[in-house]
Amino acid sequence: MEKIYGNTIGLKPNQIKRIENIYRRKIPPQEIITHELSRYLTETSHEIGRQIGALINRSGRIEYVIVGDARGLMLPDLKRTRVGEKRFRGLRLIHTHLKAEPLSKEDLTDLALLRLDLVASIDVLEDGLPGNIRCAHLIPQNSDSSSWNFLEPIHPSRLDVNFLEVIKSLEEEFARHGDGRKAGDKRERGILVSVTRGNLREAEESLEELKELAYSSGVFVVDSVVQRVKEINPKFFIGRGKLNELVIRCMQHEADLFIFDQNLSAAQIKSITDYTDMKVIDRAQLILDIFAQRAHSRDGKIQVELAQLKYMLPRLVGKGVEMSQLMGGIGGRGPGETKLEVDRRKAKERINHLEKQIKHLSQERFQRRSLRKKKGVPIISIIGYTNAGKSTLLNNLTKSQVFVEDKLFATLDPSSRRLKFPRDREVIITDTVGFIRDLPDDLINAFKATLEELEDADLLLHVVDISSPYFEKHIKAVDKILEELKLDNIPALLVFNKEDRISKEEAANICNLHNAISISAIKQETFYRLLKRIEEVLWEENSNSSIAHQPLVTD
């Protein structure tokens, strides 16, 4: 016996039998619905005083029959298909409206969220006969930003539409309009989302950085959305209407996931995932993913794993007894731990183990730094916003081969090299992980073992991408992190990199304004002023002649 979904309470046995018989009806694949089935639905709906709906597949077979109330109906939890694998779900919803009202907001929401082929309502007349049928389907993006198309209301007996041809045409149109996935491209496709109560321009600037982070993580960004709100939605973070719009955009672009620029709570991520059937990550999780990809040394891997576990631990939460695997008694009493409790306990045990390893790493680093200090060799640490060119500068200063890539956080594991100056003087110069605004606290704490290297630096080279329109904000973000780490008392030299990307006059003006030096890390001939200033700071003398007339030696 086929199941009736929804509100069947109070129905008589003969009414239930009549509704069950809907499953026995068959619709020709090319037709939206037959006049006979339309009449059967409206007459039954009129008799019970409730809406009745049918979800029909493309073969014309009825897969679900739903009973609602006088105002609407609740669709069952359909077998989920991952967004991006198919344009449409392959089901159309036909249901009755008792008051001859147009398609409701809920109808259109179901159309979008469930990616239905089509949604239609049939007016129930006073005598129970069918009135007009009203149909709507999704459409690709167009000039008027409409997401769906409404067909003219018409009586079911005069409905002359080849449904299969319409669906085929729609899927082809979506493929043409969307920047679809190319053959062999296995990258995830993401839509960036920002919700702000503040300045829209700042939110858009932040999204540009999020786009770079997504690129570094291997995500192909297909679209971005900014919403300015008076109040943050506590459940979804974003407005429900905008969330519905995002689902349609996912369908249009074959997207796999949402990436939020703000950090979300575990409950918000779950609410959005449940509502949209989409993968959802936030800014912190994206950065953690990049760090996980970039960590190659034992130290780096330990620190990243610790940060990930600390991020995930508060998100290992349930919604009550339904999360329990060992449930007994009222409210979930049981003889042992639930799986959730086991996961949390294991995570805490692993965190404790990793923190001990981090402490051991700190001791090892302290011993190495102590040896350096005994030798009296000055230490220079290169710091700066991510992708400012720190590793490129280290490579070209020391003729080394530290990994370089035009991506955020391309360098994660610190690298140290010796740099020899004339007059038998040398320094140890160290590259560090890049900074970024709003770096997750768990990452900062986990990487303290690495950042402790900065404590013994005699000089910080603060490298800034002078070609970035946001370089002043980058400077402030780095200064803020240095202050939080109590490293703002170490002498620092501001170095503007990528001077070759702007005019000489502009570079000179910016340097004068910030008391800085400009270079191009890919052009060694621009290093003279930098090396001269380093000598002046470290050895407090005018080193013009030694740098100008003697070659620089590295090892």
Which among 14, 222, 37, 33 is positioned nearest to 134, based on CA atoms? Answer: 33
Are the C-beta atoms of 97 and 71 separated by less than 8 Å? no
* CB-CB contact of 513 with 496 (8 Å): no
pLDDT of residue 346: 87
pLDDT at residue 335, as a whole number: 46
- pTM listed for this prediction: 0.72
Q: Which domains does the chain have, with CATH numbers?
A: 4-177 (no CATH), 189-291 (3.40.50.11060), 374-554 (3.40.50.300)
Q: What is the DSSP string of 177-241?
A: HS-PPPTT----EEEEEEEESS-HHHHHHHHHHHHHHHHHHT-EEEEEEEEE-SS-BTTTBS-HH
Among the ranges 282-291, 406-415, 507-516, which has the highest mean pLDDT value? 507-516
pLDDT of residue 317: 60
**Residue whose pair of structure tokens reads 């035009």 in the numeric block:** 406
Query: Over pLDDT 70: what percentage of the chain?
Result: 82
Beta bridge partners of residue 95, listed in sequence order: 53, 121
Contact 289, 218 (CB under 8 A): no
Higher pLDDT, 32 or 294: 32
pLDDT per residue as tens digits for the range 67-96: 999 998 988 887 554 444 457 889 999 999
> Which helix (H) or strand (E) covers residue 54, if one does?
strand 52-57
Residue 306 or residue 128, greater confidence: 128
Q: Which tens digit of pLDDT belongs to each residue from 321-334? A: 333 333 333 333 34
Q: How far is residue 191's CA from residue 177's CA, in Å, rounded to a whole number?
A: 16
What is the sign of the dihedral through the CA atoms of 317, 319, 323 and 328?
A: positive
pLDDT (tens digit per residue) in 484-500 = 888 888 899 999 999 99
Largest CA distance in the chain: 105
Handedness of CA 246, 84, 33, 6 (dihedral sign): negative
Q: What is the pLDDT of residue 102?
A: 92
